[in-house]
Structure 1
Amino acid sequence: MSKDIRNLWYVAALSTEIADGPVGRRICSLPVVLYRERSGAVAALFDRCPHRFVPLSRGRCEGDRLVCGYHGLAYDGAGKCVANPQGTVTRSLDVRSFPVEERHGLVWIWMGDPALRDTVAIPDFSLLDRPAMRPQYGYMWTAAHFELMTDNIMDLSHIEFLHADTLGTEKIRDAKVQARVEGETVYSGRTVHDEILPPFLEGSFQTGGRPVTRSLSVRWNAPALMLLTVGVDPAGPEKAPRETFNMHFITPETSTTCHYFWAATRPYGPDDPEWDRRLREGLERAFRTEDKPMIEAQQLVTGEADLLDLKPALFRGDGAAIHARRILTQLRRAEEEA
Structure 2
Amino acid sequence: MPFLSSAWYVAAFSREITVDAPLARTLLDRAIVLYREASGAVVALDDRCPHRFAPLSRGRLIDGALECPYHGLRFGAAGTCVLNPHGDGRVPAGAVVRRYPTRERYGAIWIWFGEAHEAATVPLPEFEFLDPLHNFTCDGYLLTQANYQLSADNLLDLSHFQYLHPDTLGSDMMARGTVQSASEGDTVWVHRAMRGEILQPFVGRSFGVPDGKAADRDLDVRWQPPGLLTITVSVREAGAAPEMTRVGMSAHWLTPETAATTHYFFSFGLPREMGDEGEALVRFSVEGLMKPFRDEDLPMLEAQQRAIGERDFWSLRPALLPIDAGAVRARRIMERLIADDLAYLNAAVPGAPQRVAGCVSEVSGR
Q: Report the TM-score, using the length of structure 2 for normalisation.
A: 0.88
Aligned pairs for 1:88-237 within 5 A: 88-118=90-120, 120-131=122-133, 133-209=135-211, 210-234=213-237
Check if 1:271 corresponds to 2:276. Answer: yes
Match of 1:23 in 2: 23
**CA positional deviation for 1:276:** 4.7
In structure 2, C-alpha distance between the alignment counterparts of 1:250 and 1:122, rounded to whole Å: 15
Alpha-carbon displacement from aligned partner over 1:52-105 (angstroms, at most 9, x marks no partner): 211111112123211112221111111011011124212211111101011111
Check if 1:260 corresponds to 2:264. Answer: yes
Give me the CA root mean square deviation. 1.8
**CA positional deviation for 1:199:** 1.1
Match of 1:331 in 2: 337
Matched-pair contact (CA < 8 Å) for 1:81–1:91: no
Match of 2:297 in 1: 291
In structure 2, C-alpha distance between the alignment counterparts of 1:23 and 1:88, rounded to whole Å: 28
Question: For this pair of structures, how many residues does the alignment match?
Answer: 336
In structure 2, C-alpha distance between the alignment counterparts of 1:177 and 1:320, rounded to whole Å: 10
Provide the secondary structure at the position in 2 that maps to 1:148. helix
In structure 2, C-alpha distance between the alignment counterparts of 1:333 and 1:277, rounded to whole Å: 40
Matched-pair contact (CA < 8 Å) for 1:247–1:262: yes
Match of 2:70 in 1: 70
Provide the secondary structure at the position in 1 that maps to 2:125. coil
Amino acid at match of 1:332: I
In structure 1, C-alpha distance between the alignment counterparts of 2:284 and 2:224, rounded to whole Å: 29
Q: Which protein is bigger by CA-based radius of gyration?
A: 2
Matched-pair contact (CA < 8 Å) for 2:256–2:262: yes
Structure 1's 14 and 130: CA in aligned 2 closer, same or farther, altered over 3 A?
A: closer
**CA positional deviation for 1:133:** 3.3
**CA positional deviation for 1:46:** 0.4
Tell me whether 61-70 or 115-124 shows the greater mean CA deviation: 115-124
Provide the secondary structure at the position in 2 that maps to 1:38. coil
**CA positional deviation for 1:113:** 1.1
Tell me whether 279-288 or 260-269 shows the greater mean CA deviation: 260-269
Check if 1:244 corresponds to 2:243. Answer: no
In structure 1, C-alpha distance between the alignment counterparts of 2:281 and 2:223, rounded to whole Å: 29
Amino acid at match of 1:14: F
Identity score, percent: 44
In structure 2, C-alpha distance between the alignment counterparts of 1:286 and 1:26, rounded to whole Å: 25
Structure 1's 47 and 307: CA in aligned 2 closer, same or farther, altered over 3 A?
A: same
Structure 1's 274 and 99: CA in aligned 2 closer, same or farther, altered over 3 A?
A: closer
**CA positional deviation for 1:287:** 1.1
In structure 2, C-alpha distance between the alignment counterparts of 1:123 and 1:134, rounded to whole Å: 19
In structure 2, C-alpha distance between the alignment counterparts of 1:164 and 1:132, rounded to whole Å: 34
Match of 2:3 in 1: 4
Matched-pair contact (CA < 8 Å) for 1:248–1:263: yes
Match of 2:12 in 1: 13
Tell me whether 126-135 or 82-91 shows the greater mean CA deviation: 126-135
**CA positional deviation for 1:45:** 0.3
In the alignment, which of 266, 285, 288 is matched to residue 282 of structure 1? 288
Amino acid at match of 1:185: T
Match of 1:313 in 2: 319
**CA positional deviation for 1:269:** 5.6
**CA positional deviation for 1:337:** 1.5
Provide the secondary structure at the position in 1 that maps to 2:90. coil
In structure 2, C-alpha distance between the alignment counterparts of 1:206 and 1:85, rounded to whole Å: 64
Provide the secondary structure at the position in 1 that maps to 2:323. helix
Matched-pair contact (CA < 8 Å) for 1:37–1:63: no
Q: Which runs of 5+ in 1 are unaligned?
A: none
Amino acid at match of 1:313: A
Structure 1's 221 and 215: CA in aligned 2 closer, same or farther, altered over 3 A?
A: same
Runs of 4+ in 1 over 6 A off after TM superposition: none
Matched-pair contact (CA < 8 Å) for 2:207–2:236: no
In structure 1, C-alpha distance between the alignment counterparts of 2:33 and 2:132, rounded to whole Å: 29
In structure 2, C-alpha distance between the alignment counterparts of 1:119 and 1:241, rounded to whole Å: 38
Structure 1's 119 and 195: CA in aligned 2 closer, same or farther, altered over 3 A?
A: farther
Match of 1:301 in 2: 307
In structure 2, C-alpha distance between the alignment counterparts of 1:118 and 1:180, rounded to whole Å: 29
In structure 1, C-alpha distance between the alignment counterparts of 2:120 and 2:152, rounded to whole Å: 23
**CA positional deviation for 1:277:** 4.2
Q: Report the TM-score, using the length of structure 1 for normalisation.
A: 0.95
Alpha-carbon displacement from aligned partner over 1:195-237 (angstroms, at most 9, x marks no partner): 11101111211201321110000111100000000000239x9
